[in-house]
Amino acid sequence: MCRHAAWLGAPRTLASLIHEPEYGLLQQSYAPRLQRYGTINADGFGMGWYDAARAEPVRYRRTVPIWADANLPALAQVSRSGCLLAAVRSATVGMPIEETATAPFTDGRWLLSHNGRVEREAVRELADDAESSCDSAWLAAAVFVRRRAGHPLGDALAEVVAHAGAKDPGARLNLLACDGASIAATVWGDTLHLHLDDGVLVASEPLDDRPGWQAVPDRNLVLASPDGVRVQPL
Ligand code: GLN
């Protein structure tokens, strides 16, 4: 299982998801506290953010463990945005370890991460192609087909999870996506937590021990925008 996290609110750096919190994604890569499947997330990592200089997000992903990239701390300290997403990966058995299998996947302004596993046959019919044979890449491709058809972020995630969950009852489908102005996340088989202050943090597990973290119940969709946060059944 992987761990992922996103922020929507006043501009912050990616270090606020990875290095600064006591249990940020760096710590979660080698000592996750709530991970149900797998013990370590050392099969790569990725992050994405938005900058006024580009219409599309900036995305950085590697196949090395997050602690092994000596250039990352400085980069994460200056990658600042009001919408951020990052993930550390523990590859599912049989899945390739390559950059194209590593979240965040991106298309247009959308960034997407998957925490879980699914039989690829359950999603292959939803997209023509994917950038990797990894199950997560196929899920991302399925979501992006819906993006191009104009579906809102939350609808796109909910439709793909409903389809894949019906075809593969053993699937775990925690998806986390953002578009620069909103975040959508599904809870389907693994943990997800929210923290609201001057924005919203969405993370597989709490990034710190501050009060206010709430666990989102299984089989729910989280929608966060500047108007607020909604949690609704999938
Ligand atoms: N199945 C995905 C992969 O192999 C995600 C794995 C995970 O959540 N650990 O990358």
pLDDT at 138: 98
Q: How many C-beta atoms lie closer than 10 Å to residue 218's C-beta? A: 15
**H/E stretch holding 105:** strand 105-107
Percent pLDDT > 90 in the chain is: 95
Catalytic residue numbers read 2
Residue 93 phi, psi dihedral angles, 5° rounding: -50, 130
Which ligand 1 atom is at minimum distance from the Cα of 117? 1
* Strands across the sheet containing 105-107: 105-107, 110-117, 172-178, 183-187, 220-225, 228-233
The string of pLDDT tens digits covering residues 186-212 is 999 999 999 998 899 999 999 999 999
Asked if pLDDT for residue 37 goes beyond 80, the answer is: no
Two structure tokens written together for 72: 């990352």
How far does residue 100's CA lie from ligand 1's centre (Å)?
13
With bands split at pLDDT 50, 70 and 90, how would you rate the model's confidence at 38?
A: confident
Percent pLDDT > 70 in the chain is: 100
Q: List the CATH number of the domain containing 102.
A: 3.60.20.10
Ligand 1 atom 1: the closest Cα is on which residue? 117
Which ligand 1 atom is at minimum distance from the Cα of 89? 9
Average pLDDT along the chain: 96
Q: Give, for ligand 1, the residue of 37, 93, 105, 115 to mutate: max count of ligand atoms closer than 8 Å to Cβ.
A: 115
pLDDT at 18: 98
Which ligand 1 atom is at minimum distance from the Cα of 91? 4
Spacing of C-alpha 103 from chain mean position: 7
CA distances from 142 to 20, 27, 38, 118, 133 (A): 34, 31, 26, 13, 13
Q: How many helices (H) and strands (E) does the chain have?
A: 5, 13
Ligand 1 atom 3: the closest Cα is on which residue? 91
How far does residue 48's CA lie from ligand 1's centre (Å)?
18
How far does residue 185's CA lie from ligand 1's centre (Å)?
16
Give ligand 1 pocket residues (Cβ under 6 A): 1-2, 38, 89-92, 95, 101, 114-117, 134-136
Q: Where are the alpha helices (DSSP H) in 68-200?
A: 72-78, 135-148, 153-167
Asked if pLDDT for residue 229 goes beyond 70, the answer is: yes
With bands split at pLDDT 50, 70 and 90, how would you rate the model's confidence at 33?
A: confident
pLDDT at 156: 98
Asked if pLDDT for residue 1 goes beyond 70, the answer is: no
Spatial separation of the C-alpha atoms in residues 2 and 73, rounded to whole Å: 20
The string of pLDDT tens digits covering residues 132-190 is 999 999 999 999 999 999 999 999 999 999 999 999 999 999 999 999 999 999 999 99
Asked if pLDDT for residue 223 goes beyond 90, the answer is: yes
- Domain extent, residue 152, equals 3-233
Mean pLDDT of 44-62: 97
ipTM of the complex: 0.96
The string of pLDDT tens digits covering residues 90-143 is 999 999 999 999 999 999 999 999 999 999 999 999 999 999 999 999 999 999
pLDDT at 32: 85
Two structure tokens written together for 168: 């593969």
Q: How many domains does the chain have?
A: 1
